[in-house]
Amino acid sequence: MKANTKAKALAVGAAATAVAAGAAIVIGSRYRHTATVGRVRLNKFDRWFDTLDTEGNGYITEADLNKAASRVLGARGVPVDSPMGLELREATERLWAEFIAPKAGSQGRVGRRELRAALAEHMLSDQFAAAAKLASIADAYFAIADEDGDGLISSGEFVQLLRNWHGVDYQESHRVFEYLDADHDNRISPEEWRSAVFSFFLGSERNHPANNLLGKVGSPILAPARV
């Protein structure tokens, strides 16, 4: 039974990766010519910064991104040195190295303005390439959230992911889930999840439900779950 479940999960993962490549091309093509940041993106980037700056010192480092990943792993009881744990850690390190690190300076940290500048320069300037990179990062978090390995994220799994990942409260998580569940089957598919991640980092549309993927701008950020 376990072997069959694992094989099914691997098959779903392989299919999801293939779809991710296609989705990245579509999303990337849509956004590649838009390099301006704009207020909508600034609000989202600031929200992300605030969820990572748990010490409130005005800076974030690669360690802060790793802490967020470790919270998700710990909540699932997945060892950091397991294959799934290593995949998530590697995805997190790529997120830092490819999009943020160039603005980190000799101290290896960025403030709010540096994060905005880093994402504008290394993510928004070539959104086709950024979408392709974000696809693999999104897939790693999807695999962790999909606790029962059925290839979908249930509302309960989604709420737990957002709570442990970036301190989003349960009510807000449920609201975002309902918006992102485009086909209303009470599950989020790999395509719906990737679309949400792409829209959060790359999209400039006002009032898009994915804008609140890390919690609504201005709403309280819960203390990170301790693991």
Mean pLDDT of 22-32: 42
Asked if the 11-212 domain carries CATH number 1.10.238.10, the reply is yes
Give me the pLDDT at residue 65, please: 93
pLDDT tens-place string over residues 105-142: 899 999 999 999 999 999 999 999 999 999 999 999 89
The answer, yes or no, to whether residue 7 has pLDDT greater than 70, is no
- Would strands 109-110 and 153-154 be described as parallel, antiparallel, or unpaired? unpaired
- Confidence band of 35 (pLDDT split at 50, 70, 90): low
CA nearest neighbour of 41 among 159, 144, 130: 130
Mean pLDDT across the chain, nearest whole number?
A: 81
| Between 16 and 67, residue with greater pLDDT | 67
Identify the helix (H) or strand (E) that includes residue 50.
helix 38-52
Give me the pLDDT at residue 189, please: 93
Give me the pLDDT at residue 48, please: 92
pLDDT tens-place string over residues 145-176: 898 899 999 988 888 887 777 777 788 888 88
Joined tokens for residue 49: 């910064």
Q: Distance (Å, rounded) from C-alpha 39 to C-alpha 204?
A: 8
Give me the pLDDT at residue 1, please: 43
The answer, yes or no, to whether residue 22 has pLDDT greater than 60, is no
CA distances from 182 to 26, 34, 179 (A): 18, 25, 7
Q: How far apart are the first and last CA of the chain?
A: 30
pLDDT tens-place string over residues 67-110: 888 888 888 888 989 999 999 999 999 999 999 999 998 999 99
Q: Distance (Å, rounded) from C-alpha 183 to C-alpha 178?
A: 10
User: What percent of the chain is helix, strand and coil (3-state, nearest 5)?
Assistant: 65, 5, 30
Q: Distance (Å, rounded) from C-alpha 164 to C-alpha 101?
A: 24
Q: What is this structure's pTM?
A: 0.78
Rg (CA), the chain: 17
- Confidence band of 222 (pLDDT split at 50, 70, 90): low
